[in-house]
Each structure stands twice: as C-alpha cells, then as structure tokens.
Structure 1
Amino acid sequence: MDNAKKFLNSGYVAGDAPFPDTAQMDHSESSIGEIISKANNLSPDQLESILQYQREHKVRFGEAAVAMGLANADDVMWALAQQFHYPYSGEKEDTCSKELVVATSPFSAQAEAFRTTRSHLIMKMYSGSTPRKALAVLSADTGDGKSYFAANLAAAFSQLSGRTLLIDANMRNPRLHEIFKLNNASAGLSSILTGRAVNNVIKSVKSMPSLFVMPVGTVPPNPLELAERPAFGLLVRELLTKFDHVIVDTPALSHGMDGAVIASRCGAAVILARQNITRVNKLQAVVGALRMSETSIVGSIVVDH
C-alpha cells in the first residue's frame, strides 16, 4: 500500500515526464492550409500552386491540395481535427492498432457507436451528487471483446475535455498493450500492487494527448489475490482524484472472481454480451457476482464481435 501511495504522490507518467500540456499542441488559431502545409512539409512552390488552384476553381484549400495530389482526404480530416481539438491517429501515425477504431477511423459508424455509448454512460454515471466512480468492463467469457470495448470507450472519453486513464486489470490475459503498442515487459499495475515499482507505470498515448494507459506489466501468478489487496482499492480511489475518467479492463468471469472483485473496487460496471453467443445463465452469474458488493451496474452492451 505504501508503494501505491508513493506512485500516486509522484504525479508522473512514463519516462518521469509530467502530464503533457495540451495547450502546447493548440492548432485552433492556425488555418487548414498552415496545418496541412506543416504536416506534409510542402515547399513554397507547392503551397503557391495549391493557392492558385484554389483561386481558379473556387474550392477550399484542402480540396485543392487533394486534387493536386499534394494531400489526401485523411490529411484534411486530421487538419480539421487539430482545429477542433479532436485527437485521433491518422494514416501517417502507427501508434495504435487498427482495433482502436475511435482513433484510427473516428468518423466511422463503429466510432459513432462508441460515442453514443459514452453519452449514455455520462448521463448514468455523472448525474446528481453521487461520488465519482471508475468503470469496470466485464463479461462472462473470453473473446467477448472487453479489451476492444474498453480501449475504444476510453479513447472516446479522451476526446472530451479532461484526462482519461485506461487500466489493464486483466492480470491473466492482458491485451491493451497490444492495442496501444506498448511495452508490457516494463512496470505496470502488477508492479504497483506487489511493491516493486512506482515509476514509468502510466504510459501516454502519442496521438491522443488526453489518454493514458496503465498496462498490467509482468503477468503475476496470483492475480485474484492482488486484486483483493487493499492497495488496489486505494489506487483506484486516488487515481479518480487525478483523472477525470477511469476505465478498467478485467478478466472474464469464466476465469474466476477477479472481474467482480475489481468492479467492487471501481464502484461501477458495464456488462458485455456477445450476440447469439453469450448464454443467459452466464450473464445471470455475472450479475449475481456483482450483487455481492455495492457495485452499480450502469449498463449492458450486446456486441457483434
């Protein structure tokens, strides 16, 4: 527990660097042309040719650049996103897996579904005067898409104001480090809970400056026991004072009670079920496990995964 307190008091992320100042990356006062020109390293001659095409054809700068082959549609959308403070990972960046559709395909129907889910959860979790809670993502079986859902939901929350933390508490079969292309061999959640490390535990996501990830680190032989330690509850409570949104990925309940224990420390849970796959009796088992504590079930999601 002392190790958790040391970590929380440090206020540092990977590389002992403080939380990034997103104001330093403010493009709101730049024109689309300036942003595209800098991003694509356009020469003065190329820039002038785009402006000439724009004047002749009476189109926007982005349309002219695309028509002349000096930019593509993704470049234009990325530039617009910078102006409107809407972070995502464009084609030129390789900072996360294509599974993270909210970051890599932010204007797709899938991404919109995650934003809709985010809105529902905000109305459910942040209304009234109830204390803030972390959100655990649970399901009955492996392969239900918990990590995919948790990662994209966290990315959607990070596109709002404030900071979002995504914790990989699946200490049996972690996947978030793969989605975000992080090194899971270094320190992580298991390091804090076992008192082995306090630095370089929270990783920043380059393409999404308001999103942070705490990977599992070394997969421990006693995941349930670590989740049941008082340090885990202390860690979650303190992180809620440092981040605006905390989302936690968990192991499937088919592996044991880890997910239910983690959810009880978080205070709120959303349950995933696979369409035409998940059995009703297994969902009832998940709900029954959560009802052993005061965990609030804030939603259930049927996914086609």
Structure 2
Amino acid sequence: MNSFQTSYPSSFGAPEDRKDPAFRDTEQGSAPDRSIGEIISQANKLSPEQIEQILNYQRENGVRFGEAAVQLGLANSDDVLWALAQQFHYPYASEGRGELNSELVVGARPFSEQAETFRTIRSHLIMKMYSGEGPRHALAVLSPNSGDGKTYFAANIAVAFSQLPGRTLLIDADMRTPRMHELFNLERGDVGLSSILSGRVASKVIQSVRELPSLFVLPVGVTPPNPLELLERPAFGLLIRELRTKFDRIIVDTPAASVGTDGAVTAAKCGAALVLARRNRTAVPSLESLVRTVGMGATQIVGTILNEY
C-alpha cells in the first residue's frame, strides 16, 4: 500500500489513561533518560575497546556518537534511529530487532513514507473524531471487497494511535476471515470476540502487544458459523459501550461488504465508520451501495481512504 488519499468532511486529544485489572495490561515504564551512546552500546553489545574506538573517532572528527559508530561499521543508521526512538520513549520495533510483522509498517518502519502517511491520516481522524466534547465513538473500518487493504489499514492506524499517550484497542470483528492474530503474532486460542458474544467467556480475552505497550488486541477466537447473528445481538453494542470507558481509542476491523452486512452492522454499534476503496479495483456502484447501507443507520462516516497500491 504505497499511498492513501483522504477525504474528510473535516476534529482527538487523548483523555487520561484508564486502567482495569480485568485486562492483561503491560505498562510502558518511564525509564530514566539514557544517552544515545549508552543505548547503542548496550543494544549492539559493544566491547569497552569498541566504545573507546568510537569515542576517539568522535573527538577527532567532531561528530556525534551514533555517526561515529556508523562510520566505523559498529552500528548502522537503523540502530541510531532505534536508539533515538528509545530515548524519546517512542514505541518502535525495527525489523530484525523485534518480532513485529513486516506488514505493520508504522511499528516496524516508523520513519518510512508509508508510516508518515498513516500518521497524517491519524491527525485527520483526531481532528474529526476526538476534538470537542462529544462522545468518543469506536471506529469501524469498512470496504466493499476482500483484498482492498482494509485489515492492513486497520492494523497500522491502530499502531499509529498506540504511539500517542493513552490506550488503543484493536478489535478483530471479521469473524469470517480473521487475520489480526496472525499480524500481531497472538495466540488464536478458543477465546475472543466470538466467545464473548456467544456468552461463553467475558474476561481476560484482550491481549497486549509486547513491542507496543499501549496497544491491545481483541482477536476473534473461534470462527463462528453465525457471525452476522452474533454481531446483531445486543451484547456487541453493550461490549463496545463498556470498552469505550476503558480505552482512549477503539479501531474495529470488519469483513468486506461483498460477503455480508457484517461491516454495516458493526459500524452501527461503533457509531463511526471509515470507508476504504482500492484504486482501479473497487467499482463505484459497490462503493455507493456500501455507503448507502451504512447511511441507513445513525453511523457517522468520518472519511474515505483510497488505497493506491
């Protein structure tokens, strides 16, 4: 997904953190400030002799520690960016250093052009949804067809939000072809959204993402035979209402409209929707049909995304 075009009718400050012992939580500690040199040295397991070599080069050439380490071949530019991110407490798991899936570009390559595009969209959503005194809706991500990039988008925009203060929850409501557990390397297990909505379990189903301490994921769990019926139950609306008191932002992935009305039903319970289409693939009539279906309820369509990949 190379770039996005956004279209918004036009307003998110992060409310104070909320904590609940029912969820498996990991807090991002406020570690004492460390120098870039100390972070690079520890991460790359540099010997005292190598550190002294870097310091000598630094003094002789008037450069920073990171630049000297790169020039001497004892670190690379990605190491320096990672160290800088650690110094500023910026959640970031660079490729080869963490276990984030490469599709999670905002977390794995946060300084790339793609990641910057997601941050721009995040800013637009903040201005649209979270500025002002109105209720904070959950945001359902919809698209007409499978393969539009909806799950990729939902996962990365959730990662982008998790890099702000507050807690972000990503819900996998695609109970037909769920993928979030794969993207975030989570245990599929028997518990998840489907087990909550079927009344089989109601606690400890939300999992934290180790590399991104402010991001939490509610996976599908067991794929049910009746996903639409589960979403139409009052339990889903009650669940969203409860989760909105626990998390600062909620992003919800949905199935493509071509396989059913799950997405529209989910959006109605969330209160807000963002519609994604794919250039040269999404047919205008199918996009119009999706927008009309969503518009039948009180859902606020906060914007549209054009996937140009």
Provide TM-score, normalisation by structure 1. Answer: 0.91
Q: How large is the RMSD of aligned CA atoms in angstroms?
A: 1.5
Q: Which residue of 2 aligns with 1:40?
A: 44
Structure 2 regions of 5+ residues with no counterpart?
1-18
In the alignment, the residues of structure 1 paired with residue 61 and residue 22 of structure 2 have an alpha-carbon distance, to the nearest angstrom, of 52
**Equivalent AA in structure 1 for residue 54 of structure 2:** I
Residue 33 of structure 1, CA deviation: 0.8
Q: For CA contacts below 8 A with separation 6 or more, give which structure has more relative contact order.
A: 2
- Kindly indicate whether residue 284 of structure 2 is the aligned counterpart of residue 273 of structure 1: no
2:23 corresponds, among 4, 8, 12, to 12
Residue 186 of structure 1, CA deviation: 3.9
Normalized per residue, the structure richer in helix is 1
Report how many residues are paired: 291
Conservation of the 8 A alpha-carbon contact between 2:192 and 2:222 = yes
Provide TM-score, normalisation by structure 2. Answer: 0.90
Q: Secondary structure at the match of 2:281?
A: coil
Q: Which residue of 2 aligns with 1:240?
A: 244
Residue 207 of structure 1, CA deviation: 1.4
**CA deviation vs aligned residue, 1:47-93 (integer Å, no higher than 9, x gap):** 22211111111111111111222211111101101112221111333
Structure 1 regions of 5+ residues with no counterpart?
1-7, 14-18
Q: Which moved more, 1:193-202 or 1:58-67?
A: 193-202
In the alignment, the residues of structure 2 paired with residue 277 and residue 92 of structure 1 have an alpha-carbon distance, to the nearest angstrom, of 34
Inter-CA distance 186–33: structure 2 relative to 1 (3 Å threshold): farther
In the alignment, the residues of structure 1 paired with residue 266 and residue 244 of structure 2 have an alpha-carbon distance, to the nearest angstrom, of 15
**Equivalent AA in structure 1 for residue 22 of structure 2:** G
Residue 10 of structure 1, CA deviation: 4.7
Residue 171 of structure 1, CA deviation: 0.3
Q: Which residue of 2 aligns with 1:110?
A: 114
Q: Which residue of 2 aligns with 1:82?
A: 86
- Kindly indicate whether residue 32 of structure 2 is the aligned counterpart of residue 21 of structure 1: no
Q: Secondary structure at the match of 1:11?
A: coil
**CA deviation vs aligned residue, 1:98-156 (integer Å, no higher than 9, x gap):** 11111111111111111110011111111222111000000011111110000010011
Conservation of the 8 A alpha-carbon contact between 1:93 and 1:207 = no
Residue 94 of structure 1, CA deviation: 4.1
Q: Which moved more, 1:41-50 or 1:55-64?
A: 41-50
Among all aligned residue pairs of Structure 1 and Structure 2, give the percentage whose two residues are the same amino acid.
Answer: 63
Instruction: Map 1:134-213; keep pairs closer than 5 Å.
Output: 134-213=138-217
Q: Which residue of 1 aligns with 2:288?
A: 284
2:104 corresponds, among 88, 97, 100, to 100
